[in-house]
Amino acid sequence: MTLDETLRYSMEEETKLSVPVSLDEPLTLNNPVNLTGQGETVLYDTERATLRLTGPGPYLFRGLHFQHHYQKAVTLVQVEDGLAVFEDCTFSGACGGDENGLASAILVKGSSRVYFESCNFHHNDRHVVARDHCEVTLRSCNMQESRTDGILLSGSSEASISELEVRHSGWSGVCLEDSASLRLTDSQLSENGCQGLDIGATACYQGSRNLFSENGQHGLTASGSCNVVSDGDQFLNNGLCGLDLGEEVSASVRWGHSAQNKSHGVQGRSGSRIDLADSISCENSGSGVALFEKASLNAEDLQCEQNELTGIQGGGQSRATLSRTNVSNNKVCGLAFYEQCRLNIERSRVTESKGHGIQLSGECQSLIRDCEVTENSRNGLVLTEKACALLEGTALAHNGRDGLTVQGQARLTATGNRLHENGRDGLDASSTGITILLNNSLERNARYGLSIGEEAAPVTADNSFKDNRGEDTHHQADQGSPLLALLDSGELELPFQPEGVEKSMLEALARHGRLSELALGKVAKTRRVGGAMENLIARLNRAGMPIIQHEGQGPEGVVYALKLDTSRTRIHPSEETIEAQ
């Protein structure tokens, strides 16, 4: 029996199916329908078969399986300007062939209102398409194996969705176009080919407690001038970024968690504006947060931990304002800002980075106030090139090398800071730019309190020095040691402290670069070259630093050359960070 015959001959308000019915021609329903079953199939037998609901309704369907088994199908159900309700229904087989003939399980148009409760969708080109100014509501639905997008919202359509699971879509789990809007809660968009959620144009997204995970590209991507409001969403283990925001997007994220993504946890591009509050971005293969071009970030109570590159990085003309932010245990650098960025950070902690705590380069401008920059493996804060920083009330302590290093033409004004117990100097002022040091405390550093470069002329007043192991203030022009110059510049880091003959030989090679055994003995003023040099080479090689190499045998004995280990030279973050496209 056909579906048309079943409905035509039914005399009851509710038509109950007990056997499968077929549909082999387009069927248009103008009057209300109440059709129920217990898993019975409405089988679409021909390429042309489709069900159109064109009246005001209501149309009620419960416990049915709408299935198209023709090789090239059209949309299963079209709702035009009516009210339709689907409960415990399944939709499958709406596959239309090429991209110009995509089919949908459900197509909603006009001013329709459609409700889905506990429905299943699988193996359709698209599961649900909503256009114009319709309203769609989904509760506790499951969607699998769509050829393109699982759900497509366009026009000014609105969707309210909760407890939805969308997996294995060829493109995105859910896609918003035009001025469509989506309210999504307690849902999971995972393992889709491209994005979990793709938002464009002027669309709006408001979501809470959703999971975007294991998608081929981004967990959530937004472009155009759309608006994103996210509360408690998680972005985990996606192929590129957890959250990708571009163009003129405005995004507000609270209680977000972005982790284990293959690129950055959160990425801002173009002119996007991002507010992050009470959020976490950790264990990402790139940076916790990455800003490019003119993107801006305003963050409070943000945690960026254990990322493979930096906690937060910025390039181009991006801007970041950070408050009560915790950046710790990142591999390359805690914070890295370069080019023409601006960074304002206050009441925050940057700790335990495997490289520098904060690195500012290019023409970056920054204000750092009331922060803790501690226990980083290299320097606490590094200013290079033409970077400019105002540093106030900040602790730079227990860092592996200097608390603060100023190089190139960088400019620094530092007032009321504490540079204590660093592994080398409290402050290395080697920049030819203006350096002003007022009322700072430099205490218990392993070498000097303040080390001043040959061409540097810092302005100092009311600074206090106490218990530094070397001089409180040291002028590098007085030392005249090539080896120390290499160590000071960071080009050479030794795993042990050379002394005696070893130090003399290293000094000679640092000064001349390449020497024969005889010449090395003369310059280093020692006759114990051969055995001592081989012992030194062996110690360095065991430490993974083959910086002294044999360059053959000459008339004056073995020729030795100093070759710096470039893997231990200073790394500029912009060389290691790639914008995920």
* CATH value at residue 560: 1.10.10.10
Looking at the fold, whether 467 and 525 belong to one and the same domain comes out as no
Residue 12 lies in a domain: no
Residue 473 lies in a domain: yes
Number of domains in the chain: 2
Domain that holds residue 552: 500-567
Looking at the fold, whether 399 and 472 belong to one and the same domain comes out as yes
Closest CA to 212 of 230, 231, 195, 193: 195
Per-residue CA distances from 68 to 24, 84, 399 (Å): 10, 20, 67
Q: Under 8 Å CB-to-CB from 400, ≥6 apart: which residues?
A: 376, 377, 378, 379, 422, 423
Q: What is the pLDDT of residue 557?
A: 81
Which structure tokens are listed for 196? Answer: 């979990």
Looking at the fold, whether 381 and 411 belong to one and the same domain comes out as yes
Per-residue CA distances from 274 to 248, 269, 307, 321, 419 (Å): 10, 10, 20, 10, 33
Residue 275 lies in a domain: no
Q: How many CA atoms lie within 13 A of 59 on its CB side?
A: 26
Produce one character per residue of 269-281: b if its CB has 16 or more CB atoms within 10 Å, e if not: bebbbbbbbbbbb
Looking at the fold, whether 536 and 473 belong to one and the same domain comes out as no
Which structure tokens are listed for 563? Answer: 């070759």
Q: What is the pLDDT of residue 263?
A: 98
Domain boundary, last residue among 413, 447, 479: 479
Looking at the fold, whether 395 and 461 belong to one and the same domain comes out as yes
Looking at the fold, whether 397 and 461 belong to one and the same domain comes out as yes
Looking at the fold, whether 402 and 449 belong to one and the same domain comes out as yes
Looking at the fold, whether 474 and 518 belong to one and the same domain comes out as no
Q: What is the pLDDT of residue 11?
A: 65
Looking at the fold, whether 460 and 514 belong to one and the same domain comes out as no
Q: What is the pLDDT of residue 217?
A: 98
Residue 333 lies in a domain: no
Q: What is the pLDDT of residue 281?
A: 99
Residue 351 lies in a domain: no
Residue 123 lies in a domain: no
The ranges of the chain with pLDDT < 70 are 11, 97-100, 477-492, 511, 523-524, 564-581
Domain boundary, last residue among 447, 479, 511: 479
What angle is formed at CA 309 by the lines to CA 307 and CA 312, rounded to 5 degrees?
80
Residue 444 lies in a domain: yes
Over residues 56-112, the pLDDT tens digits come to: 999 999 999 999 987 777 899 999 999 999 999 999 999 876 656 789 999 999 999
Looking at the fold, whether 509 and 539 belong to one and the same domain comes out as yes
Tally the residues of the chain.
581
Q: What is the pLDDT of residue 343?
A: 98
Residue 321 lies in a domain: no
Which structure tokens are listed for 147? Answer: 């050829």
Domain boundary, last residue among 479, 512, 538: 479
